A and B are shown apart, each in its own frame.
Chain A
């Protein structure tokens, strides 16, 4: 990815380079860096392989327009992209340890009436990890305030900082835009190809 350089910036607090990921993105590394994200009702799952000493973080949300089974597919995809990326860096699926973050109640009450988005996302993450046999070492989910997650991919450690309630509006806006993008996207950009 050519964008890596652009988004990797020094974090003076940790004394390490920091890579920020937005909704729908993921990043993995075996280097001594910090991967961060800001979560409202979205979910971020960190995966770490303690033997290969590589880890990664994703940031996603299930689309709410389509049916349950269909929307879970997008979550599975977000997880698979991260898992495959880690496996390419030497990680083994059987050694993964997970941590789950997010699923706060950020969206407006009118949205919440139709779907309990945060709960749906939290449930998905835990069900997926259970089905795949990936142990969850810790989690910080639910609540009303946005979270900033700092993940250290080489060690698997995580720091979570709650943002000020005022920051919630900006996070909610970014997430609404992301939710709309998801709803409008009809399937993958590359359709089925028959050779």
Chain B
């Protein structure tokens, strides 16, 4: 069985399409609708990668990322940001918060899988 990946996005459509792509790529997928739910899932499930949106209700992706980097047991989980945000300042903020990578939507399916393979050999 492939590695487990957690998708955190408030849009059902995005969760569905990313789940489809990842499952096609042989990964096991969990999902969450915001940062709070994402952290809860991370405390319950062992995952090798987190893919998160930035703009979400309750807790945004960058805040969740900061929490992850402060929490023992999950602080070294790679986090890939998948967002409509392409502004340099936002990307820098993500980098500073400890993001592993940044992908701007609409993304290319193959590129997404390629990027994941670089992180999870």
Contact: B11 with A73, CB < 8 Å? Answer: no
Contact: B101 with A194, CB < 8 Å? Answer: yes
Judged by a CB distance under 8 angstroms, whether A188 is at the interface is yes
Contact: A188 with B107, CB < 8 Å? Answer: yes
Nearest A residue to B86 via CB reads: A190
Secondary structure of the A contact surface, majority rule: helix
Question: How far is it, in angstroms, between the C-alpha of A178 and the C-alpha of B12 when the chains are bound?
Answer: 27
B residues less than 8 Å from A51 (CB atoms): none
Judged by a CB distance under 8 angstroms, whether A114 is at the interface is no
Judged by a CB distance under 8 angstroms, whether A45 is at the interface is no
Nearest B residue to A76 via CB reads: B13
Q: Known interface pairs A69-B17, A80-B105, A194-B118. Does A188 touch B86 (Cβ–Cβ under 8 Å)?
A: yes
Judged by a CB distance under 8 angstroms, whether A87 is at the interface is yes
Q: Scoring B residues 101 to 115 as 1 if CB is less than 8 Å from chain A, else 0, what string do you get?
A: 111111111011011
Interchain nearest-CB distance for B21 vs A (Å) = 9
Judged by a CB distance under 8 angstroms, whether A14 is at the interface is no
Nearest A residue to B34 via CB reads: A93
Contact: B13 with A192, CB < 8 Å? Answer: no
B residues less than 8 Å from A77 (CB atoms): 84, 105-106
Judged by a CB distance under 8 angstroms, whether B74 is at the interface is no
Judged by a CB distance under 8 angstroms, whether A20 is at the interface is no
B residues less than 8 Å from A193 (CB atoms): 91, 101-103
Judged by a CB distance under 8 angstroms, whether B14 is at the interface is yes
Contact: B106 with A87, CB < 8 Å? Answer: no
Contact: A83 with B106, CB < 8 Å? Answer: no
Contact: A187 with B17, CB < 8 Å? Answer: no
Question: How far is it, in angstroms, between the C-alpha of A94 and the C-alpha of B10 when the chains are bound?
Answer: 11
Cβ < 8 Å to B, chain A residues 45-87: 69-70, 72-74, 76-77, 79-81, 83-84, 87
Contact: A80 with B84, CB < 8 Å? Answer: yes
Judged by a CB distance under 8 angstroms, whether A92 is at the interface is yes
9 tightest Cβ-Cβ pairs between the two chains A and B: A187-B108, A84-B55, A192-B115, A194-B101, A190-B104, A77-B106, A188-B104, A193-B102, A192-B103
Q: Using a CB–CB distance below 8 Å, which chain B residues touch chain A?
A: 10-14, 16-17, 20, 55, 57, 84-86, 91, 95, 99-109, 111-112, 114-115, 118-119
Q: Using a CB–CB distance below 8 Å, which chain A residues touch chain B?
A: 69-70, 72-74, 76-77, 79-81, 83-84, 87-88, 92-94, 128, 131-133, 186-195
